[in-house]
């Protein structure tokens, strides 16, 4: 079933809306401690920019073969230029609501090449203005009919002030919506077809669970309270747990990997489900695809993606 699903995904049109950011990496050598304070001195030798946040979700969608467009808010600056250029290089359409009063969100990581270790992360955050959020909503409503499915990638940066309006509009247009949530209040995601919190995010809202039965009970309460189609809890090395509105439950083991780097794994999961739904897949097949794709991504270092060829190769090992 999954090979046929992958083939269909090449015809999918997926809209990603959320908090896009620029992931900036400075690589260098650490050879001494600063005389000014007891901290290492990193002599930067290399710089690299990558799309981050919702933009990385868009990368994951495109890597799976679907057409993808990203809607987000940014500053009117060089970082926004860089983000647009990076996405265009991967054939991803990008509609940034540029606000001259904002700075584009940047996560700067300083990494020691010699120690293979992240030494420091510096976040440049800037809350979006109401005007920018309204323009984003208007643009979303205008273009929504052009797409088969919607992915909402909420990184809690304030760029999504009208998620309820987006979900309701998608339902009115007959488009499924999958949400990667943030924060301790999920009421804004009411009515979504699926939300995909990781374990920590889920427990922040639903409380700590003792075992699978406890998880299922807490997830079903969330489904009922928020009128959701389902909850998919991604659990790292413990796999994934899906609880659906009709009472169906699915626990999937994580795929064994020598490297287990969860960076970007959640982006891959939501991208795979959005792509699968865009071509009419059932949720359980979509989740199985997401599990295979996430297994590939956690076997790589950094924010990686999974291609159809890699997924087919992985499925071939099962044959």
Beta strands in 86-165 (DSSP E): 93-99, 106-112, 117-124, 149-153
Residue 214 pLDDT: 96
Binning pLDDT at 50, 70 and 90, where does residue 261 land? low
Helices (H), 75-157: 78-89, 130-143
The tens digit of pLDDT for each residue in 157-215 reads 888 989 999 999 999 999 999 999 999 999 999 999 999 999 999 999 999 999 999 99
pLDDT band of residue 3 (cuts 50, 70, 90) is confident
Does residue 67 register a pLDDT over 60? Answer: yes
Contacts of 199 (CB under 8 A, 6+ apart): 233, 234, 235, 236, 238
Alpha carbon distances (Å) from 313 to 54, 60, 132, 151, 265: 27, 18, 43, 26, 19
Q: How confident is the model at residue 254 (pLDDT cuts 50, 70, 90)?
A: confident
* Mean pLDDT computed over every residue of the chain: 92
CA-wise closest residue to 286 among 17, 6, 69: 6
Contact partners, residue 280, CB within 8 Å, separation at least 6: 8
The DSSP 8-state label assigned to residue 53 in this structure reads E
219 DSSP assignment? H
**For 279-303, what is the mean pLDDT?**
87
Give 262's pLDDT tier (boundaries 50, 70, 90).
low
Bridge partners (DSSP) of residue 94 are 70
Q: pTM score, two decimals?
A: 0.93
Model pLDDT, residue 117 = 83
What are the distances in angstroms from CA 158 to CA 74, 131, 260, 270? 11, 12, 30, 20
pLDDT value of position 114: 78
Confidence check: pLDDT of 221 > 70? yes
User: What percent of the chain has pLDDT above 70?
Assistant: 96
d(C-alpha 272, C-alpha 112), whole Å: 33
| pLDDT at res. 317 | 78
| pLDDT tens column, 132-157 | 999 999 999 999 999 999 999 999 98
User: In the chain, what are the domains?
Assistant: 2-19+53-103+147-318 (3.40.1190.20)
Please tell me the least confidently modeled range out of 206-220, 239-253, 260-274.
260-274
Q: Is 19 a residue of the active site?
A: no
81, 185, 267, 285: the catalytic one is 267
């Amino acid at each position: 079933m999954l090979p046929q699903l992958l083939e269909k995904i090449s015809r999918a049109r997926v809209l990603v809306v959320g908090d896009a950011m620029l992931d900036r990496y400075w690589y260098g050598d650490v050879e001494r401690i600063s005389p000014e304070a007891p901290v290492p001195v990193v002599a930067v030798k290399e710089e690299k920019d990558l799309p981050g946040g919702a933009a990385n979700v868009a990368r994951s969608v495109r890597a799976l073969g679907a057409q993808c467009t990203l809607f987000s808010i940014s500053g009117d600056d060089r970082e926004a230029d860089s983000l647009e250029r990076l996405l265009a290089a991967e054939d991803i359409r990008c509609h940034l609501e540029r606000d001259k009063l904002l700075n584009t969100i940047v996560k700067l990581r300083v990494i020691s090449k010699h120690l293979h270790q992240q030494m420091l992360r510096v976040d440049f955050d800037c809350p979006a203005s109401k005007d920018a959020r309204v323009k984003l909503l208007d643009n979303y409503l205008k273009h929504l009919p052009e797409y088969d499915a919607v992915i909402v990638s909420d990184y809690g940066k304030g760029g999504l002030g009208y998620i309820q309006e987006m979900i309701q509009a998608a339902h009115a247009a007959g488009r499924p919506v999958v949400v990667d949530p943030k924060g301790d209040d999920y009421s804004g995601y009411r009515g979504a077809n699926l939300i995909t919190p990781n374990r920590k995010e889920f427990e922040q809202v639903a409380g700590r669970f003792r075992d699978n039965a406890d998880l299922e009970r807490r997830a079903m309460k969330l489904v009922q309270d928020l009128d959701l189609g389902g909850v998919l809890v991604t659990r790292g090395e413990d796999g994934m747990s899906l609880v659906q509105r009709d009472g169906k439950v699915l626990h999937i083991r994580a795929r064994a990997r020598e490297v287990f780097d969860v960076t970007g794994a959640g982006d891959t999961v939501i991208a795979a489900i959005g792509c699968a739904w865009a071509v009419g897949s059932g949720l359980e097949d979509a989740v199985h695809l997401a599990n295979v794709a996430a297994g590939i991504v956690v076997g790589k270092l950094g924010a990686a993606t999974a291609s159809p060829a890699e997924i087919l190769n992985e499925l071939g090992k099962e044959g």
